[in-house]
Structure 1
Amino acid sequence: MKAAILAPVAWRTPPRHYGPWEQVTSNIAEGLIKLGVDITLFATGDSITAGKLDFICDKGYEEDRTQHAKVLECLHISNLMEKANQFDIIHNNFDFLPLTYSRLIKTPIITTIHGFSSQHIIPVYKKYNSIGNYVSISNSDRSPELNYLATVYNGLDTKDFEFNEHPGDYLLYFGRIHPDKGTAEAIEIAKKSKRKLLIAGIVQDERYFKEKIEPQLNEQIEYIGSSGPKKRNALLGNAMALLHPINFNEPFGLSVAEAMLCGTPVIAFNKGSMPELIKNKETGFLVNTINEAADAVEDLKNIKRIDCYNWATSQFSCDKMAADYFKLYHKILEA
């Protein structure tokens, strides 16, 4: 079976630091290669894969700002679609734009919907409902207007994470600095629970950082910048808990799965996919307020870290994700 996997071109696949869609796309590609699929990854030229690599730009537009994002995206998508007849199946991890080619080519397309940037894009998905082969990354992140083939949870390479039975005494916020992700709320939780908080992530909203986060930084609340894969394992594994007080219905939340793979429980606001990722009072706590989250910090002693690790390994591994997609590829091709 020959498959083309279309990645975004904002960042390298896999990313050096931030880039959740690129990370999952890489994990899909490498997992399927292990299963014997002949994979061509369409991504940036500096991307890394055990399969074949096809590209129209050396770097992503977020890493080389001299490039025009929309122009790059059009060139990137069309590069694959003009070669569509070379593949048995195309796996689209690049949102709705590639769907506009789907009735112009004969090769079937399977699309992983990594989240909806807004409701305005739903009409494009609706137009291709009958042939889209849509896959959601959580049951919570489904539009009632769309037809879905399956839900496949994002998978991580479990070898990249080390289980830590004996963590430090700090709480961790790990993600982009943005109101949606609840950085300010994490600070309030740390203050109420009188615990040290480390904040790691890219600053996506400069004004929010300057007004809500930076004035509160001190010895207790520390911002350590963006942390790539090498730092990630130690940061997550040594944390007593990951704070994830999101203010939106998050489609998945890679950092939640990453934390549990290190044995670290997660205290999250009960929104979006969180009830699917976290087993309440077993691998973390689902809460609704800052006060409830602070109380949950005191209850962390009741969580067995090995339970976090075992749950995450069984549900959110690359191997499981790749096997699930492998079955879907066959289902589409045999239809």
Structure 2
Amino acid sequence: MKVLIVTTPVKPIGQGEGGGVDVSLHHIIRALTHRQHEVSVIAPKGSQLDADVDAKLIAIDGELQQSCQVHAPNTRFFCDDDCVLSRMWSAAQAHQDDVDCILNLAYDWLPIWLTPFLPTPVFHLISMANENQQVANALQRLNHTAPERIAFRTHAAANTFSFSRPVTTLANGYPLAQFPFSPDGDGSIAWVGRISPEKGLEDAIRIAVRADMPLKIWGFEQDSDYRQALTREFPPSILQWQGFVPHQTLLQQFQHCSALLMTPKWVEAFGNCVAEAICCGVPVVAYNAGGPAEIVENGTTGFLIRPGDLDQAAAALSHVCQMNRTEVRRQGHQRFSLEAYAERLEIWMGLQRTTHSRHSASKRQDPPRPLALG
């Protein structure tokens, strides 16, 4: 089957601001091509795919879209002819007759609104919780008529919306052979994410100070004022800024950390770095909220703590560092294989059928099939 993926319009692939969407995109391509599907990707000009993925890249020029999480929830976004989002979906319309389905990874109202007007089935893998009312309204309308076209990474993210009909949950999968493993930690803590207030880096720093452990920080600097404020407030002996690095480099570096901290202020829709850490054998201390609460197995692959309880988190670090990293890794490999992910994607998008009619698929009334996270 042929799949066209339309990715986020906030930044070219590979530059960091796409965050977990960029990571997920590459794993989706790997999963689908592993099952002999052909994949094309529409993305902003300047995008670069990893060398090991087999997909045709269609680069689109235009004005980049601002990420909605830096705006108030009631902010309305508009597109004109210069907007890369509208141009990307014009390209999707032009290419739709060449593919069996379209997969949207953008958290924007336009592709959701366009869904009933395109004869080729459009599926939406939603990467965030309810952060914008315009997007929520579009999703709720689509949920009423075609709930099978919507999927979330976790129940926590889906439950932030007021849906009348159930939707699919679809956890990520990873190319586990590429994930390194260190049987021992080096005494440092890892924190991975965009450097932006909603990610809650200040909590992680305060926890590291309490635990008297150095904090290694990886991620794209989305808010430079935020980083500068943190640098002024906290001792440099604790903070070890690692910057934004290629994904495989990130895995090679953080595999040596004794634990990963996850301290978001918003509802984290999934938490790629949590699952990736576990797959590398690095145990996790995370707030018991959002996606991480569905990934971490409390007492087995890490500990879940009350959001904002810094003392509890610091105490958990002393215990989590004693966990059997081989067992942590084994649990991750059981739950997040690329093969199982490919099967979940195929079931959701109807790619397992021997015959496929775009027009019949777009009109089908089959009930959505909820998928297990594991």
* Structure-1-length-normalised TM-score: 0.89
Distance 1:75 1:35, change over 3 A: same
The match for 1:111 among 121, 124, 127 is: 124
Q: Is the 8 A contact 2:65 2:83 kept in 1?
A: no
Deviations 1:37-57 (A, max 9, x none): 122222245433413332323
SS of corresponding position for 1:147: coil
1:47 corresponds to which residue?
Answer: 48
1:284 paired residue among 283, 296, 302: 302
Name the amino acid aligned to 1:308: V
| Secondary structure at the counterpart of residue 250 of structure 1 | coil
Q: What secondary structure sits across from 1:224 in the alignment?
A: strand
Separation (CA, whole Å) in 2 of partners of 1:57 and 1:319 = 34
What letter matches 1:135 in structure 2?
Answer: A
Q: 1:147 to 1:93 in 2, by over 3 A?
A: farther
Give percent identity, aligned residues only: 22
CA separation in 2, counterparts of 1:70 and 1:268? 41
The partner residue of 1:138 within 154, 161, 166 is: 154
Aligned residues: 329
The offset of 1:300, in angstroms, is 2.0
- Deviation of 1:179 (Å): 2.4
1:102 match: secondary structure: helix
**Are the structure 2 counterparts of residues 73 and 217 from structure 1 closer, same or farther at C-alpha, using a change threshold of 3 Å?**
farther
Cα 1:43–1:307 shift into 2, 3 Å: same
Equivalents in 1 of 2:12, 2:248: separation in Å? Answer: 16
1:72 corresponds in structure 2 to 84
Q: Unaligned 5+ residue runs, structure 2?
A: 67-79, 365-374
Q: Which amino acid aligns with 2:105?
A: N
**Structure 1 match to 2:137:** 123
- Give the match for residue 189 of structure 1: 207
Q: Which runs of 5+ in 1 are unaligned?
A: 63-67
Letter of the 2:260 counterpart: L
Which of 82, 85, 95 lines up with 1:83 in the alignment?
Answer: 95
> Contact conserved, 1:11 with 1:59, CA < 8 A, in 2?
no
Cα contact 2:195–2:221 (8 A) shared by 1: yes
In structure 1, what is the equivalent of residue 271 of structure 2?
253
Give the C-alpha shift of residue 145 in structure 1. 1.8
Quote the Cα distance in structure 2 between the aligned partners of 1:69 and 1:310: 49
**Tell me, what secondary structure is at the counterpart of 1:202?**
coil
Whether the aligned pair in 2 keeps the contact of 1:170 and 1:197 (CA below 8 Å) is yes
Q: What is the deviation of 1:284?
A: 0.6
Pairwise CA distance, 1:134: 0.5
Report matched runs for 1:1-335 at 5 Å.
Answer: 1-13=1-13, 15=14, 17-19=16-18, 20-44=20-44, 46-48=47-49, 49-57=53-61, 71-95=83-107, 96-115=109-128, 116-129=130-143, 130-131=145-146, 133-142=149-158, 143-145=161-163, 147-288=165-306, 289-330=309-350, 335=364
Other-structure match for 1:65: none
Q: Aligned with 2:146: secondary structure?
A: coil
**Contact 1:18-1:228 at 8 Å conserved across structures:** no
Instruction: Give the match's secondary structure for 1:248.
Output: coil
Deviation (angstroms), 1:170: 0.8
Against the structure 1 CA distance between its residues 136 and 300, is the aligned structure 2 distance closer, same or farther, given a 3 Å change threshold?
same
RMSD, aligned CA: 2.5
Deviation track 1:100-157 (CA, whole Å, cap 9, x = no partner) reads 2222221111111111332342111122221251011101111232534411102222
State whether residues 7 and 41 of structure 2, in contact with CA within 8 Å, keep that contact through their aligned partners in structure 1: yes
Cα distance change of structure 1 residues 58 and 71 upon mapping to structure 2, 3 Å threshold: closer
Instruction: Give the superposition deviation at 1:316.
Output: 2.4
Q: Structure 1's 222 and 214: CA in aligned 2 closer, same or farther, altered over 3 A?
A: farther
Q: Is the 8 A contact 2:124 2:151 kept in 1?
A: yes
Report if aligned partners of 1:12, 1:59 keep a CA contact under 8 Å in 2.
no
Q: CA deviation at 1:240?
A: 0.4
Letter of the 2:285 partner, please give it: I
The structure-2 alpha-carbon separation of the partners of 1:59 and 1:37, relative to structure 1 and needing over 3 Å to count, comes to farther
SS in structure 1 opposite 2:33? helix
State the Cα distance separating 1:60 from its structure 2 match: 7.2
Contact 2:8–2:21, Cα closer than 8 Å, also in 1: yes
Give the superposition deviation at 1:280: 0.6
- Helix, strand or coil at the partner of 1:297: helix
Q: CA deviation at 1:86?
A: 2.2
Secondary structure at 1:238 match in 2: coil
Q: Assess if the C-alpha contact under 8 Å between 1:136 and 1:148 holds in 2.
A: no
Aligned partners of 2:317 and 2:186: how far apart in 1?
A: 14
Tell me the CA shift for residue 214 of structure 1.
Answer: 3.7
Counterpart CA distance in 2 for 1:24 and 1:42 is 15
1:183 touches 1:213 (CA, 8 Å); kept in 2?
no
Q: Hey, what's the Cα distance between the residues in 2 that align with 1:177 and 1:277?
A: 22
